[in-house]
Amino acid sequence: MLKHKDHFHGSDLELIEKTYGIKASDITSFSANVNPLGISPLLRNTIASHIDAISTYPDREYTALRSEIARYTETDINNIIVGNGSTELISLMIKIKAPKKAIIIGPTYSEYEREINLGQGSCRYYPLKEEDGFGLDIADLAKYLTEDVDFLVMCNPNNPTSTIVPRKSVRKLLDICKQKDIFLMIDETYIEFAKDYRKITCVPLTTYYNNLVILRGVSKYFAAPGLRLGYAVCGNPDLIKEIEKKKNPWTINTLASIAGEIMFRDKEYIDETYRLIDSERKRVTGLLSQIPGIRYYEPGANFVLVKILKDDITSEDMFETAIRKGLMIRDCSTFYFLDNHYFRFCFMTPEKDDELIEVIRQVMTGKSTGNTADALSDNMTGSTADALSNNMTGNTADGATGNSKGGSL
């Protein structure tokens, strides 16, 4: 069995191919959290007709793209900033705000900590509690928002827990942050996968709070990580001017800009994605609830976090069994506050989801049902009511290096 410290990322298909001798094209990545429908059909059918656009420079202001994003997010074009993936915008925002002491709500994506450390700032993690289903307790978090804290990072829905903080709760948090002069950065990479997401997204709050920025991209919902197209929504005109002043010009190539304009208009694709994920989220969690020895945490996004409740089975065991069948899940043992009994996977097509459910069932019970679909009752949405363990161990953050400055509160 492979022993590795750095667990595979959803984009590591070539490394998987080399390690396991499985062709990258034969691997289904349940780890990447990408829309299983692939890229927008409207984009696929029209992008080639725009190939001549690469002979000219992009519009420095990206007016057409920003206008389309503003329409899509229901905000003002002047509140939109675009970048080379949300990663560039995370980096820019942290460089400009230059936080001296940040709090990151975790377990979560490690890039936030990395960027804060690169800027010589310090950061601590506020741990979401397993006994609360990894939901956020605003009142408890507020206790740690002390005078020396100047920056707060939240991923909503959160990765890897797939939990959601309602807009009403975020507004309460923003009021607290405003009083204490704390800037809040919210990563909404997965928001469009959420049920009734327009009632959850915090984009409308940017109209009322100047200490808030919302980050999004097209990598996940629009299945276009190779485009490297991200955007931010911010209602603080002074901050936007500062970002535009320090941001490199033309970081988005012409075709990526045109692709963005096209995909945000593909309503049929957007609606089909929503229906598929909503349906599979209900169906797959119903199947998970019937497998003994595991607990899942109610997912709000297009992926689910699962805990193995048997001491003699680990997340690495689950990964190894699944990958040898060409199914790649995420071993979550490298996330802060999680250990080697947690794994995550995203919802794909019903056929592929059934394949993975069968693997999970076999690992946990040692036997197969033969037909996963037959095991499902249409009305099953509840999670397994197993007792939770309160003993959470902090591990190195997902992808973070050993010399990380981060720690828990």
- Give the Cα separation of 283 and 347 in Å (integer): 10
Q: What is the pLDDT of residue 382?
A: 39
225-242 tens-digit pLDDT: 999 999 999 999 999 999
Question: Side chain identity at 321, as an amino acid letter?
Answer: T
CA distances for 140 relative to 126, 179, 213, angstroms: 10, 17, 23
Phi then psi for residue 295, to 5 deg, are: -135, 135
Helix axes 350-365, 315-323, angle to 10 degrees: 130
Q: What is the pLDDT of residue 21?
A: 86
Q: How high is the mean pLDDT of the chain?
A: 89
**Which of the pair, 7 or 111, is modelled with greater confidence?**
111
Question: Side chain identity at 377, as an amino acid letter?
Answer: S
Given a cut of 90, is residue 376 above it in pLDDT?
no
Q: What is the pLDDT of residue 143?
A: 97
Q: What is the pLDDT of residue 18?
A: 80
What band does 117 get if pLDDT is binned at 50, 70 and 90? very high
Facing residues of 330 across strands? Answer: 344
β-strands 294-297, 183-187: how paired?
unpaired
Ranges of each domain in the chain: 13-38+268-375, 41-266
**Closest to 189 in 3D by CA, of 130, 229, 134:** 229
Q: What is the pLDDT of residue 12?
A: 72
Reduce the DSSP state of residue 234 to 3 states and report it.
strand
16-65 tens-digit pLDDT: 888 888 888 899 999 999 999 999 999 999 999 999 999 999 999 999 99
Phi then psi for residue 23, to 5 deg, are: -60, 135
Is-same-fold flag (13-38+268-375; 41-266)? no
Q: What is the pLDDT of residue 239?
A: 96
244-266 tens-digit pLDDT: 999 989 999 999 999 999 999 99
- Give the Cα separation of 295 and 309 in Å (integer): 7
Given a cut of 90, is residue 1 above it in pLDDT?
no
For 25-53, letters b (16+ CB in 10 Å) and e give: eebbbbbbbbbbbebbebbeeebeeeeee
The gap from C-alpha 22 to its chain's centroid, in whole angstroms, comes to 26
41-266: CATH topology is Aspartate Aminotransferase; domain 2 (3.40.640)
- Say whether pTM exceeds 0.85: yes
Given a cut of 60, is residue 380 above it in pLDDT?
no
- Give the Cα separation of 346 and 327 in Å (integer): 11
127-169 tens-digit pLDDT: 999 999 999 999 999 999 999 999 999 999 999 999 999 999 9
**Which of the pair, 199 or 398, is modelled with greater confidence?**
199
**Closest to 405 in 3D by CA, of 148, 141, 120:** 120
What band does 15 get if pLDDT is binned at 50, 70 and 90? confident
Phi then psi for residue 76, to 5 deg, are: -85, 140
In this structure, whether the domain defined by 13-38+268-375 belongs to CATH 1.10.10.60 is answered with no
Q: What is the pLDDT of residue 389?
A: 34
